[in-house]
Structure 1
Amino acid sequence: MKPKFLVLLAAFNGMKWISDQVHSILNQQGVSVTLLISVDSSNDGTEEWVSVLSERNPNVVVLEHGRKFGGAAPNFFRLINDAPLKEFDYFSFADQDDIWLPNKLIEAVGVMQSAVAQGYSSNVTAFWPDGKETLIVKSQPQVEFDHLFEAAGPGCTYVFSKELFRDLQKHIVNRFSDIQNVTLHDWYCYAFSRTHGYKWVIDVHSYMRYRQHGNNQVGVNSGLKAFKSRLLQVFNGWWLSQAALISRLTGVENTPFVQRWISLRRVALIRLAFSGYKCRRRVRDKVVFTVLCVVLAILR
């Protein structure tokens, strides 16, 4: 019997790309797919388009229109909150503008079963309007605390077992108001999974084309412009404040490691700098993490 997937797709003003993405999701090989769509209030016809699609295709379900989220995270949290559980084996996230290879989901199942893992993500192939393509590698070895400081890769690659998704959904339902303060849903869901003892595997292969354009909310973390943007997020306090928030919401605030740095005072930041090798996966990021913590401590 084919594994049954519920794919959660968050959309906003997506008429330029959503048709190709939906087609690639509904034509996945080796699995049975139901697509659950939530549209952030749009002005380009996206709501009308997905409504017509759901009327024509019983495998497409659309949540009630008219809500304004203002970002992908609250839209995905709404999808998780409202997702039906009973008839599905696996759950996956999808953006509106990517293109999935036909074997994306069935390959994820194979990797998860082989690794005995409940959570999954993968590398992706980024592509730009000018035809440029590049493999984005997120599969560096996981370290002890990387989940508190970064995502497991793009959320559109995530797959959850039923057990993990049920636990995640229950958590989000119970903390729904507080979780609205989380900016990145993929970072949060990875952190929840790891802090609650679920095994996560990051696939070295890429099974999707990750579209890059001017409207990406996050996009690929590469190039000088992206590096400067993320530096600004560090120095305005957003990044470490989010790490502290995620630690509190996932229930690890009082663990010895988090207690060492969560105050974000000067001494706490110095302590965190000494743990940089445990906080990011990529070697370059470990170094940058350590240096930034020291610089922030000096500026305190």
Structure 2
Amino acid sequence: MPRVLVVLAAFNGIKFLPAQLESILCQQDVAVQVAISVDRSIDGTQAWAEETAQRDPRVSVLPSGQVFGGAAPNFFRLIDEVDLTGFDCLALADQDDLWYPDKLARACQQMQHTGAVGYSSNVTAFWPSGRERLIDKAQPQQPWDFLFEGPGPGCTFVLKQPLALALQAWVRTHAEQLQPVGFHDWLIYAWARAQGYAWTIDAHPHMLYRQHADNQIGANAGLRPLLLRIRRVADGWGLGQASLIARLTGLETHPFVAPWCQGQRLGLLRLAFRAGQCRRRRRDQVLFMLSCLWMAFFLPNRGHVA
């Protein structure tokens, strides 16, 4: 059976974490180990995790006391510190979802079938009301989509050992540069694609993606997430993150990247008309083109957002 190390970032997660960990430990047709890192919490998450690790040898907990302030630095800490020796794959897990029993086995099978070393998938978002919605990220990959969007939630990510080891080595040498990164999953996907690693996005959801008031990111469903995305375009945050990721992945001088990475109006105009290479979904390509045009003409201090 494939041996999979699951890294789980937690923060004040005692409400949902026991059920999530149970769903991970019940994975079928794989041998699972779980490493947990707890951002300093006040609800007993750390104590519960340590007690669980004492009862179950498949669970380990990294030393406590650090304050990360977000999921991204907590996951980077996990990737930096875990020992990948003896594992075939590395998987990422949030604290509040529910995994189907075949989630990890399906990921391993899909990578074997496609020849990819990185995997992500669609998810089924669900709300306390009982509402469910498919979050579809499995459109065909485009030449530059990795600089502008992720391939699905990071909690679906599974990396084969060669990619996981290379990522770990890179994270260890770029700790300071990674601090401003808002989305660890977007960066991991971008780095893998920039390095030439093959990635597959599975259209079949194999987990329930819990939505609640404390989600840091969530499913981007509804009016509030839409308004947040519009605001991030309007103030240049999204372009700044794309530029940061381009620099971290070593692509800032590429002829396609350099003009818009520096906030040049002409570069943004050119980017607008190459939207089909930058997003996977047709609707998102149109919105991407319009946002680039807006930034080219109306975003102040374009040269500073990067």
1:261 maps to 260
Q: Residue 96 in 1 paired to residue 95 in 2?
A: yes
SS at match of 2:238: helix
Deviations 1:138-191 (CA, angstroms, capped at 9, x unpaired) = 101110100000111000000000000101111110011111111100000000
1:135 maps to 134
Following superposition, the deviation at residue 265 of structure 1 comes to: 2.4
4+ runs of 1 displaced by more than 4 Å? none
1:240 maps to 239
**Deviating more after overlay: 19-28 vs 229-238:** 229-238
Aligned 8 A contact 2:125 2:211 in 1: yes
In 2, Cα distance between equivalents of 1:140 and 1:122: 11
One-letter amino acid of the counterpart of residue 32, structure 1 = A
Following superposition, the deviation at residue 73 of structure 1 comes to: 0.3
One-letter amino acid of the counterpart of residue 26, structure 2 = N
2:298 maps to 299
2:42 maps to 43
Identity %: 51
Aligned 8 A contact 2:236 2:295 in 1: no
Match runs of 1:135-214 below 5 Å: 135-214=134-213
Following superposition, the deviation at residue 274 of structure 1 comes to: 1.2
Deviations 1:275-298 (CA, angstroms, capped at 9, x unpaired) = 111111111110000001101111
2:304 maps to none
Following superposition, the deviation at residue 252 of structure 1 comes to: 1.1
Deviations 1:88-117 (CA, angstroms, capped at 9, x unpaired) = 000000000000000000011110000000
In 1, Cα distance between equivalents of 2:187 and 2:259: 21
In 2, Cα distance between equivalents of 1:221 and 1:193: 24
TM-score, normalised to structure 1, is 0.98
Q: Residue 114 in 1 paired to residue 143 in 2?
A: no
TM-score, normalised to structure 2, is 0.97
1:64 maps to 63
Stretches of structure 1 that go unaligned for 5 or more consecutive residues are none
Deviations 1:63-103 (CA, angstroms, capped at 9, x unpaired) = 00000000000000000001111110000000000000000
In 1, Cα distance between equivalents of 2:245 and 2:106: 30
Match runs of 1:81-92 below 5 Å: 81-92=80-91
Following superposition, the deviation at residue 224 of structure 1 comes to: 2.0
In 1, Cα distance between equivalents of 2:216 and 2:12: 13
SS at match of 1:14: coil
In 2, Cα distance between equivalents of 1:131 and 1:223: 16
User: What's the Cα RMSD here?
Assistant: 0.7
Q: Residue 53 in 1 paired to residue 34 in 2?
A: no
One-letter amino acid of the counterpart of residue 231, structure 1 = I
In 2, Cα distance between equivalents of 1:218 and 1:264: 26
Task: Report how many residues are paired.
Answer: 299
One-letter amino acid of the counterpart of residue 59, structure 2 = V
In 2, Cα distance between equivalents of 1:222 and 1:130: 15
Following superposition, the deviation at residue 206 of structure 1 comes to: 0.5
1:251 maps to 250
Deviations 1:234-257 (CA, angstroms, capped at 9, x unpaired) = 112111101111111111111111
1:17 maps to 16
Deviations 1:188-224 (CA, angstroms, capped at 9, x unpaired) = 0000000000000000101000000000001012222
